[in-house]
Amino acid sequence: MKLLVAVKRVIDYNVKVRVKADETGVETANVKMSMNPFDEIAVEEAVRLLEAGTATEVIAVSMGVQQCQETIRTALAMGADRGIHVKTDEELQPLAVAKLLAKIVEKESPDVVILGKQAIDDDSNQTGQMLAGLLGWSQGTFASKIDLAEGKANVTREVDGGLETLAINVPAIITTDLRLNEPRYASLPNIMKAKKKPIEEMSPEDLGVDVAPRLTTLKVTEPAKREGGVKVESVAELVDKLKNEAGVI
């Protein structure tokens, strides 16, 4: 069973994000970048399936600027077998990523594609679902437990009311949630081995995909600072303020 895992390079979750002075986006220059945490979980799950003998190969895929190869190397150090880098300087939106992944799926013929449920930079939570739609594959989203058997996948997913377990056919798309596993730290020997593992480089043009943005960001601003609260003397005063000042009733 071949597994394909998508990994994204994002601003490290420990870094305080700052908005650019011209409000066109967030500051990424000289900012620490790392693998999206949900994608780390996806890589860890794929590597565990490989170690258990359920999977035969794990391929890590990333898309974007040249530095995305560092993210792929991290996945290789965690245990992935080889990498694919779709190199582009364009801003990649979820639909473009899904189309690129669909072309790579056609090329590599994996049995399961595992992605993080969302990226912490845009929080779109769209790519996995779009990919399943483009391929016409089964999907199990927000997975907190995955059991793969011959031709089937049992995916326990987190929903508002608790947990739901789906039995889906393979090939399938699975997106990972926080409680699926605890990603490992890559050991120094594995980091050194990762430097020798192959990374295939290609472009959107090679795959025949137009990645031009379909959405335009008008402005990015920081959330408004919270104002101090006030104490009221009676219920009547509270109702009056809610009605006439806050306008919520």
Residue 230, in any domain of the structure? no
The lowest-confidence range among 33-42, 163-172, 212-221 is: 212-221
pTM listed for this prediction: 0.86
Distance (Å, whole) CA 142 – CA 52: 22
Distance (Å, whole) CA 249 – CA 242: 6
Expressed as residue numbers, the domain containing 62 is: 2-220
CA dihedral 184, 188, 190, 193 (to 10 degrees): 160
End-to-end CA gap in the chain: 57
Residue 245, in any domain of the structure? no
Domain total in the chain: 1
CATH classification of the domain holding 179: 3.40.50.620
Residue 106, in any domain of the structure? yes
Residue 243, in any domain of the structure? no
Phi and psi dihedrals of 233, rounded to 5?
Answer: -90, -20
Tally DSSP H helices, then E strands, for the chain: 7, 11
Residue 94, in any domain of the structure? yes
22-60: per-residue pLDDT in tens? 988 888 888 999 999 999 999 999 999 999 999 999 999
Residue 89, in any domain of the structure? yes
Residue 226, in any domain of the structure? no
Give the per-residue pLDDT at 223.
85
Residue 77, in any domain of the structure? yes
